[in-house]
Chains A and B, each alone.
Chain A
Amino acid sequence: MAGPTKPLPSASLHIVLALLDGELHGYALMGRVAELSDGAVRMGPGTLYGTLNRLVDDKLIEETTDRVPREDNERRRYYQLTASGRAVAVDELVRLQGLVHRIAGHLPGPATA
């Protein structure tokens, strides 16, 4: 069994978490990331597509554009998590939950965990 893996970089983390609900195209993905982060993370096109490129190379996501017919007037590329990408996203969620839980236990004042 492999040991603990390194956390994903911030942009990759936000994208794999945003894709947990299903496939999205670039602009929708950007909006979903902004929504999940409460507006704190707003990626530019270069950051978004550079990260998508890396995640595709790492086989954590895959392009699904040609699999189903689209209603878009302009041809957009859709992406979804692969099986290993979904596993990584879930691992990241568990890691973040553990982190929050441990930090909350050490915070002064009323317990919030």
Chain B
Amino acid sequence: MSAPPPIGAYRALLRLYPRNFRDEYGPDMALLFADQLRDEPAARVWVRGMVDLAITVPTRHLEAHMNRPATPVVPLLFVVVSLTGVCVALIGGSSLGMLAVGLSVATVTGALAAAAWRHTRPVAVARSATAHWWKFLTGGAGVLVAVIILTTATGEVDDSMWWPMVITVVGALLLLVTGLVLGVARLTGNHPHNARS
């Protein structure tokens, strides 16, 4: 009976693969490598195995990176700053400078949020999440138009209606910003083809 081939070094090299892949297929790969060593010249098997490792380790890591769970901390921070900009523009709207600064901050950080969102979401999830951007945009625009029409028709806004009005306008602006962020993310996103969909 022949001795089992020495594959300890190969088992150690398998640790270069991402943990999930290694846990799932590591024992099978080691067994397969041992089978090869049993049936073919060791030098040929080792050279082929090293080339295979050099090619597939980065590929498996890239795949793991693409499928990793979402970590939306950075885009959320940008969204918060963007909303702060909207609030500044709204509160200081009577001052042209405050309005410009607020809207600029909201636009720039909104774009950054969209870019960061793309980098932290798996491709398939990002595509499905950004597919509804136009609903937010049209919803926000619709509410704003309704408020403008209402205030134009009624003239002065009653004191008791001031805060509900502010909350409604802020909500509409939030919808607009969300729609813009998702729309930019969708427009700048890749649309990989699914070979077998």
On chain B, the residues within 8 Å of A6 by CB distance are 193, 195-196
Total count of chain B residues near the partner, CB < 8 A: 26
Q: How far is the CA of A49 from the CA of B31 in the complex (A)?
A: 12
Min distance, Cβ B194 to any Cβ of chain A, angstroms: 9
User: For chain A, which range describes its interface: under 10, 10 to 19, 20 to 34, or 35 or more residues?
Assistant: 20 to 34
On chain B, the residues within 8 Å of A5 by CB distance are 195-196
On chain B, the residues within 8 Å of A8 by CB distance are 195
7 pairs from A and B in contact (CB 8 Å cutoff):
A44-B55, A45-B29, A45-B33, A46-B29, A47-B56, A49-B21, A50-B59
Most buried by A among B17, B32, B48: B32
B28→A49 contact, CB < 8 A: yes
- Which B residues, 167 to 187, have Cβ-Cβ distances below 8 Å to chain A? none
Interface residues of A (CB under 8 A from B): 5-8, 26-27, 30, 42-50, 52-53, 58, 60, 74, 76-77, 88
A53→B31 contact, CB < 8 A: no
List of 9 A-B pairs having minimum Cβ-Cβ separation, nearest first: A44-B52, A46-B56, A45-B29, A49-B25, A6-B195, A27-B35, A46-B52, A45-B32, A26-B32
Q: Which of B52, B63, B193 contacts A45 (CB 8 A)?
A: B52
B32→A50 contact, CB < 8 A: no
Q: How far is the CA of A44 from the CA of B36 in the complex (A)?
A: 10
Min distance, Cβ B11 to any Cβ of chain A, angstroms: 11
Given pairs A50-B56, A53-B21, 6 additional interface contacts (CB within 8 A): A26-B31, A30-B36, A44-B49, A44-B51, A46-B29, A50-B63
Min distance, Cβ A13 to any Cβ of chain B, angstroms: 11
Q: Which of A7, A47, A77, A88 contacts B55 (CB 8 A)?
A: A47
A46→B53 contact, CB < 8 A: yes
Contact with A along B39-73 (1 / 0, CB 8 A): 00000000011011101110110010000000000
Min distance, Cβ B197 to any Cβ of chain A, angstroms: 8
On chain B, the residues within 8 Å of A47 by CB distance are 52, 55-56
Judge if B159 is at the interface, Cβ distance under 8 Å: no
Q: How far is the CA of A43 from the CA of B56 in the complex (A)?
A: 11
A88→B196 contact, CB < 8 A: yes
A27 closest partner in B (C-beta) = B35
Q: How far is the CA of A105 from the CA of B33 in the complex (A)?
A: 43
On chain A, the residues within 8 Å of B21 by CB distance are 49-50, 53
Judge if B24 is at the interface, Cβ distance under 8 Å: yes
Q: Which of B25, B48, B193 contacts A53 (CB 8 A)?
A: B25
On chain B, the residues within 8 Å of A53 by CB distance are 21, 24-25
Q: How far is the CA of A63 from the CA of B51 in the complex (A)?
A: 27
On chain A, the residues within 8 Å of B36 by CB distance are 27, 30
Min distance, Cβ B191 to any Cβ of chain A, angstroms: 14
B28→A26 contact, CB < 8 A: yes
